[in-house]
Chain A
Amino acid sequence: MLYSDIGKPIKKVDNDIKLSGKAKYAADYNISEMLYARTVRSSCSRGRIKSIKIPALPEEYFVITAADVPGKNRIKFLTDDWPFLAEDKINYYGEAILLLVGADRALLKKLADEVKIVYEEIPAIFTIEEALNNVKKPIYGTDNKFADYKYEKGDVKTAFAKAATIVEEKYSTGYQKQAYLENQSMIAVPGKAGKITIYGSMQCPYYVKNALIQAIGIDSSKIQVVQTVTGGAFGGKEDYPSLLAGHAAFAALKTQKPVAIFYDREEDTAYTPRRHPAEIIFKTALDGENNILGVKADVKLDGGAYAGISEVVLQRSIYNICGVYSIANLQITGAVIATNTVPNGAFRGFGAPQSIFAIEMHMESLARKAGVSAIDYKMRYMAKQGDTTATDGVFYDEIKLPEMLAKVDQISDYSKKKKMYGEQPQFHKGIGISLFLHGCGFTGSGEQDIIKAKLKLCKKKNSQRVEIFAANVDMGQGLQTTFRKIAAKALAIPLENIDFPYPDTDKVPDSGPTVASRSIMIVGRLLQKAAEKLKQRWHEDNDIEIIQDYEAPARIKWDGGKSLGDAYPAYAWGVNVVETKVDPLTYEVTVTGIWTVFDVGQPIDERIIEGQIQGGVVQGLGYAGMEVMTNDSKGHSRQNNLTNYTIPTAMDFASIKNCLVESSYEDGPYGAKGAGELTLLGAAPAYAAAVGQAMRIHIDRLPITAEYILDEVIKHG
């Protein structure tokens, strides 16, 4: 198949194996003599281990503890503070202490329950407030902050000095669990001469490889990481697989047998990273006509017990705190706070959903104060091409928000309904709109300074086939298909002649992690460039190998120390409208309509993009109203399965009507930008604005439960 129009949908290359049940996920591997490992976890939130009593184990059953970690017992992240297995200190309920390894999974579970651990408890810290009030001993450093950021733009001091009024509001958001259908799964297979091969469900094969090099203290050539068909990830398989692969590898090294760890839903739900809860405060200086003079904002993320990758999550929160609005005078502070709870991590949106919710609701509130409609107020500050970003960088490309707003109004009848529902409070109906953006790719200079992506393309002598060597994974988002499409178009050869095996670090160069909506825009561009070079050399009568390195677009300028400049190379945009009806007796919310318009540049496959939008919006609606996760008084998750942590079913939301605007980004493959995360960002604020109108309340919290609506209704009289 040849493509003149790359966006035209094609049949996904992995449809058949997935539909017929032939696709092999990690738990479907049949490896002879394989053992299983079961994690024994802390039932104490903070303290020291005084003693561990292991029950009598049958023959060929093993215990793995911190003493069995051959190298450094810390997971390799930006800050190496998280042990694979606890040494003596415990920092959260559910922390991994030891592994039991053996052949029978049911027996292992029983034995794990019989392990007796005695702790010396230390008063634990469960909230951001407690972490900052200095009463209890800090968990991290002297101030309990894993990261502490500040940046300024314009002249905030003068703006606030001139203010007629200063509006202060606080927003808070809760946990969200990725809840991929395939739980975390990893297998380690010992090989010859100390080699370890990992097969597992993951987003970032090289993160896993580098974590194991450090944890085992072994040469790079001895660690091979192979991604298996991955049953959803959404960020949840960015950071945690490094820990799991370590556990499996330590057990495999000790037993010299293949060892699998397949989490059950309880472990996965209660003890693996979630989206960070956030507390966001705005102080906005207004003039006499309620125009914004300047904004001070403070973002606090609950990082949980270890730093992990939270600092990078915070960067995305604070750099996107102004949403789509260009504000002249800004002072932004942000911190990740340590608490004795499960460490939080990556989840689609990566710190931005919290900020986008907060800024959108703050703008709603300011509009009400100004006595104008939310959309009119938002349009006053909506960024245009050439305007400055929050970090004083530049919006270099055309911003199509006016066209997108017109389109969404046309398909949803937003303006008419907004007015109508405003005049008919007795029907408890509401409609809300959100405007949002997503910085595509890594934040700041991560791409050129840290990742340094490399992609390889090969053609053998006398062959018409081309093989893509990249570390980026298909986790459901369609990369197996979209990468082949990019290569096939650039080479003008049939898609069937492109090979793109699941990544194996023994074969593929490090093209970086499958995160940050970067795979298509950044690595896809490398692929296009490599394919164009290969096409030029197609006639050569020998093996051809093209290696393509990342080069940052020349226009990008970033000062990481000051957090100033172009935090992202490009932005994708969205406008969402959500319509709701609220039951005035039960406060149950029904979503009666969803309309979305997106600018993701040129789609590499329109149907795949549609799938990202449909799925992302529904995840965002889950975040808005359904998905509740809280801790009990010991910091233990109250939710530990899909019965008490409820994700959307087919019965929960109306269908979504979606449009794309025509757009193209010059540094993306065929004009494509990132799309995966953007799609989740707008649902919660649009839903909140709709519920707010239906019940005449101001929503300042996620998730919006019936109990919360009741409280607010009572508060508003």
Chain B
Amino acid sequence: MADISFILNGKNVTIDADATKRLLDVLREDMGFTGPKEGCGEGECGACSVLMDHELVSSCLVPVGNAAGHEIITIEGFSEEKRYEKLANAFAEAGAVQCGFCTPGMILAAEALLNKIPHPTEMQIRQAISGNLCRCTGYNMIIEAIQMAADTGDGLW
């Protein structure tokens, strides 16, 4: 066990944990953030996605020790942002939410993309969410939502 400090959703946190504990478990069990979901536990589905220094990571593959000194944002933190509002409205407008299990991860994948490329092509969007599986929507309505947010999100990204 060791003291591990990082920034979580804008706040400095220090936890006493085994450095090999999965970041996903720390977030869900120790910090009470259940927005990141466990879908596969091996980095394939993206349901556990969070942002680490604004990059999309699968929190099931990150030992919490590796988060030390970094900034972690979960959907709970991101949902306070104006950019979230823009994406959430676009997801609603495009009908991009069905069972919702992949949705927090998809929103964060979209944020990570738009942060780098504010006006992505369809192919860039497809690539950016290709590590996030969705079994309900067939993806096209999610792609449309991200496109819609990018088209109307001038100045936000």
Chain A residues with a Cβ under 8 A of chain B: 9, 11-12, 14-25, 27-28, 30, 178-183, 229-234, 264-265, 475-478, 607-608, 610-611, 614-619, 641-643, 647-651, 653, 655-656
Report whether A181 and B47 are in contact in the complex, using a CB–CB cutoff of 8 Å. Answer: yes
* Alpha-carbon distance between A264 and B37 when the two chains are bound, in angstroms: 12
Verify if B59 is at the interface (C-beta below 8 Å from A). Answer: no
A618 to B135, CA, bound (A): 9
Contacts of B37 in A (CB 8 A): 25, 27, 181-182, 231
Shortest CB-to-CB span from A202 to chain B, Å, is: 13
| B102 CB-CB contact with A under 8 Å | yes
The answer to whether the Cβ of B137 comes within 8 Å of any Cβ in the partner chain is yes
Closest CB in chain A relative to B53 CB, distance in Å: 20
Tell me the bound Cα distance from A176 to B99 in angstroms: 20
The 8 A CB mask of B100-127 against A (1 = contact, 0 = none) is: 1111100100000000000000000111
> What distance in Å separates the Cβ of A284 from its nearest Cβ neighbour in chain B?
34
CB-defined A-B contacts under 8 Å, sample of 21:
A15-B91, A16-B88, A18-B100, A20-B84, A21-B36, A27-B38, A180-B101, A181-B136, A182-B101, A232-B135, A232-B136, A234-B135, A611-B137, A615-B137, A615-B138, A616-B138, A642-B40, A643-B42, A649-B130, A655-B140, A656-B138
> Distance in Å from the Cβ of B147 to the closest Cβ of chain A?
11
Does B134 touch A at the CB level, under 8 Å? yes
- Which of chain B's residues have a CB closer than 8 A to the CB of A653? 138
Give chain A nearest CB distance to B60 CB in angstroms: 10
Known A-B contacts A476-B98, A651-B126, A656-B138; A15 and B92 likewise in contact (beta carbons under 8 Å):
yes
- Contact in complex: A650, B143 (CB < 8 Å): yes
Name the 7 nearest CB pairs between A and B, nearest first: A21-B35, A476-B99, A18-B100, A231-B101, A618-B138, A21-B75, A476-B98
Residues of B within 8 A of A231 (CB): 37, 99-101
Known interface pairs A615-B135, A642-B44; 9 further A-B residue pairs with C-beta atoms within 8 A, sorted by A's residue number = A19-B103, A20-B88, A21-B104, A180-B99, A182-B37, A610-B141, A611-B136, A619-B135, A650-B142
Contact of B39 among A14, A17, A181, A476 (CB under 8 A): A181
Q: Are A12 and B138 in contact (CB-based, < 8 A)?
A: no
Structural contact, B138 and A619, CB atoms closer than 8 A: yes
Q: Which of B42, B44, B98 contacts A611 (CB 8 A)?
A: B98
Contacts of A477 in B (CB 8 A): 98
Report Cα–Cα, A611/B131, bound state, in Å. Answer: 21
Most B CB contacts (10 A, CB to CB) among A11, A17, A642, A643 go to A642
**Across the interface, which residues of B come within 8 angstroms of A648, CB to CB?**
138-139
Q: Chain B: interface secondary structure?
A: loop
In the bound complex, residues from chain A placing their C-beta under 8 Å from that of B28 are: 28
Tell me if B5 is interfacial: C-beta within 8 Å of chain A. no
In the bound complex, do residue B98 and residue A615 qualify as a contact, i.e. CB atoms below 8 Å apart?
yes
Tell me the bound Cα distance from A232 to B39 in angstroms: 11
What is the chain A residue whose CB lies nearest that of B35? A21
Task: Point out the residues of chain A lying under 8 angstroms from B91, CB to CB.
Answer: 15, 19
- CB pair A611 B141 closer than 8 Å: yes
Partner of A21, one of B38, B40, B76, B125: B76
Do the beta carbons of A647 and B127 come within 8 Å of each other? no
- Measured as residues with beta carbon below 8 angstroms from the partner, the interface class of chain B is 35 or more
Inter-chain contacts of B57 with A (CB < 8 A) = none
Please state if A9 and B76 are interface contacts (CB–CB under 8 Å). no
Chain A residues with CB under 8 A of B103: 18-19
User: Shortest beta-carbon distance, A629 to chain B, in Å?
Assistant: 15
Is A20 a contact of B35 with CB atoms below 8 Å?
Answer: yes
Rounded to whole angstroms, the CA-CA distance of A297 and B143 in the bound complex is: 43
Is there contact, CB below 8 Å, between A618 and B101?
no
Smallest CB-CB separation from B93: which chain A residue? A11
CA distance A58 to B91 in the complex (A): 48
Say which residue of B40, B93, B99, B140 sits within 8 Å of A641 (CB atoms): B40
- Whether B69 sits at the interface, judged by CB under 8 Å, is no
Q: How far is the CA of A12 from the CA of B95 in the complex (A)?
A: 8
In the assembled complex, B133 has its CB within 8 A of some CB on chain A: yes
CB distance from B50 to the nearest CB of A (A): 10
| Residue from A11, A229, A619 within 8 A of B92 (CB atoms) | A11
- Which among B39, B107, B130 is the interface contact of A650 at CB below 8 angstroms? B130
CB distance from A582 to the nearest CB of B (A): 21
Docked complex Cα distance between A673 and B79 (Å):
37
Contact for B97 among A18, A25, A647, CB less than 8 A: A18
The answer to whether B64 has its CB under 8 Å from any CB of chain A is: no
Are B76 and A641 within 8 A (Cβ)? Answer: no
One digit per residue, 1 when the CB lies within 8 angstroms of any chain A CB and 0 when it does not, for chain B 5-35 equals 0000000000000000000000010001111
A475→B79 contact, CB < 8 A: no
List chain B residues, Cβ under 8 A from A18.
Answer: 97, 99-100, 103
Complex CA distance for A352 and B66, rounded to whole angstroms: 49
In the complex, whether B56 has a CB less than 8 A from a CB of chain A is: no
Q: Which of A178, A179, A615, A651 has most B Cβ within 10 Å?
A: A615
Inter-chain contact B95/A611, CB cutoff 8 Å: yes
Does B45 reach chain A (CB closer than 8 Å)?
A: yes
Asked if B41 lies at the interface with its beta carbon under 8 angstroms from chain A, I say yes
Q: Which residue of B lies closest to A232 (CB)?
A: B99
The reply on B67 being an interface residue by CB < 8 A is no
B34 touching A12, Cβ below 8 Å = no
Q: Chain B nearest CB: distance from A308 CB in Å?
A: 22
User: Shortest CB–CB separation between residue A598 and chain B, in angstroms?
Assistant: 14
Query: Are B135 and A179 interface neighbours, CB within 8 A?
Result: yes
> Is B129's beta carbon under 8 Å from chain A?
yes
Complex-state Cα separation, A618 to B126, whole angstroms: 15
Measured between alpha carbons, how far is A482 from B2 in the docked complex, in Å? 51
Measured between beta carbons, the chain A residues less than 8 angstroms from B41 are 264-265
A265: contacting residue among B32, B42, B98, CB under 8 A: B42
Q: How far is the CA of A653 from the CA of B103 in the complex (A)?
A: 20
Q: Which of B44-92 contact A (CB under 8 A)?
A: 44-45, 47, 74-76, 79, 84, 88, 91-92
Q: A20-B76, A641-B42, A648-B138 are contacts. A181–B35 as well, Cβ < 8 Å?
A: no
Q: Is the CB of A265 within 8 A of B136?
A: no
Among B74, B75, B102, B140, residue most surrounded by chain A Cβ atoms (within 10 Å): B140
Query: Once bound together, how far apart are the Cα atoms of A413 and B60, in whole Å?
Result: 46
User: Are A642 and B133 neighbours in the complex by a CB distance under 8 Å?
Assistant: yes
Distance A264 CA – B133 CA, assembled complex (angstroms): 16
Q: Look across to chain A and name the residue whose beta carbon is closest to the beta carbon of B99.
A: A476
Please state if A617 and B138 are interface contacts (CB–CB under 8 Å). yes
Q: Which of A16, A21, A181, A656 is the one whose CB lies under 8 Å from B99?
A: A181
Is there an interface contact between B140 and A14, defined as CB atoms closer than 8 Å? no
Complexed CA–CA distance, A677 and B21 (Å): 41
Interface centre among A230, A608, A655 (most CB of B within 10 A): A655
The residues of B that contact A22 with a CB separation of less than 8 Å are 35
B137 to chain A, nearest CB (A): 5
Nearest chain-B residue to A230 (Cβ)?
Answer: B99
The answer for the CA separation of A642 and B45 in the assembled complex, in Å, is: 7
Determine the distance from Cα of A16 to Cα of B39 in the docked complex, in whole angstroms.
21
Contact yes or no, A610 B95, CB < 8 A: yes
User: Cβ of B126: which chain A residues have Cβ within 8 Å of it?
Assistant: 650-651
Q: Tell me, rounded to whole Å, the shortest Cβ–Cβ distance linking A253 to chain B.
A: 26
- In this complex, the member of B44, B88, B101, B143 whose beta carbon has the largest number of chain A beta carbons within 10 angstroms is B101
A650 to B141, CA, bound (A): 11
CB distance from A58 to the nearest CB of B (A): 19
**Assembled-state Cα–Cα distance A72/B44 (Å):** 39
Q: Is the CB of A20 within 8 A of B75?
A: yes
CA A268 – CA B120 in complex, angstroms? Answer: 36
Taking CB atoms, residues of chain A closer than 8 Å to B32 are 30
Q: Which chain A positions have C-beta within 8 A of B35?
A: 20-22
